[in-house]
């Protein structure tokens, strides 16, 4: 029998959606990263981010490296911004009952995308 993905283990799309909403609740109040989301269609961003986080957990959605690079190319995201995103993501995952080991695995997958997102 195949091992369950983290996506399946933690409740699929509906649970990932809750994680992403929590992620943005924190992020939008962040002085360093929050301004990136001024004048942005948040429902669209939340949808994309839910699919992206689902993919990091082994879910059905995915984004190619080229898509991630293109989506962020107009932004001046620094390593410090990315570090803040990682910290907020880690907190959101922990707050929704993920084990420390699973949080580390998801954050590591997220971290692999740093060169595609950071300018």
**C-alpha to C-alpha distance for 108 and 103, rounded to whole angstroms:** 8
Question: What average pLDDT score do residues 33-59 get?
Answer: 94
Confidence of residue 119 (pLDDT cuts 50, 70, 90): confident
- pLDDT tens digits for 57-102? 999 988 899 999 999 999 999 999 999 999 999 999 999 999 999 9
- Whether residue 15 contacts residue 41, with contact meaning beta carbons closer than 8 Å, is answered with no
> Model confidence at 1, in pLDDT bands (50, 70, 90)?
low
Place of tokens 């959605």: 61
* pLDDT average, residue stretch 13-36: 95
**Architecture (CATH level 2) of domain 11-32+41-117:** Orthogonal Bundle (1.10)
CA distance 99 to 105: 10
Integer Cα distance of 119 and 114 in angstroms: 9
What per-residue confidence (pLDDT) applies to 61? 80
**Nearest residue to 105 (alpha-carbon basis) of 58, 65, 73:** 58
pLDDT at 62: 82
């Amino acid at each position: 029998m195949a091992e369950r993905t983290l996506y399946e283990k933690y409740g699929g799309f509906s649970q990932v959606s809750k994680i992403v909403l929590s992620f943005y609740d924190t992020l939008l109040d962040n002085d360093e990263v929050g301004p990136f989301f001024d004048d942005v269609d948040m429902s669209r961003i939340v949808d994309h981010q839910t699919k992206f986080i689902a993919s990091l957990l082994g879910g059905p959605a995915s984004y190619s490296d080229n898509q991630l690079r293109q989506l962020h190319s107009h932004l001046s995201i620094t390593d410090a911004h990315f570090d803040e995103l990682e910290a907020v993501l880690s907190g959101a995952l922990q707050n929704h009952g993920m084990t420390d080991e699973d949080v580390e695995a998801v954050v590591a997958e997220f971290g692999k995308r740093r060169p595609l997102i950071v300018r």
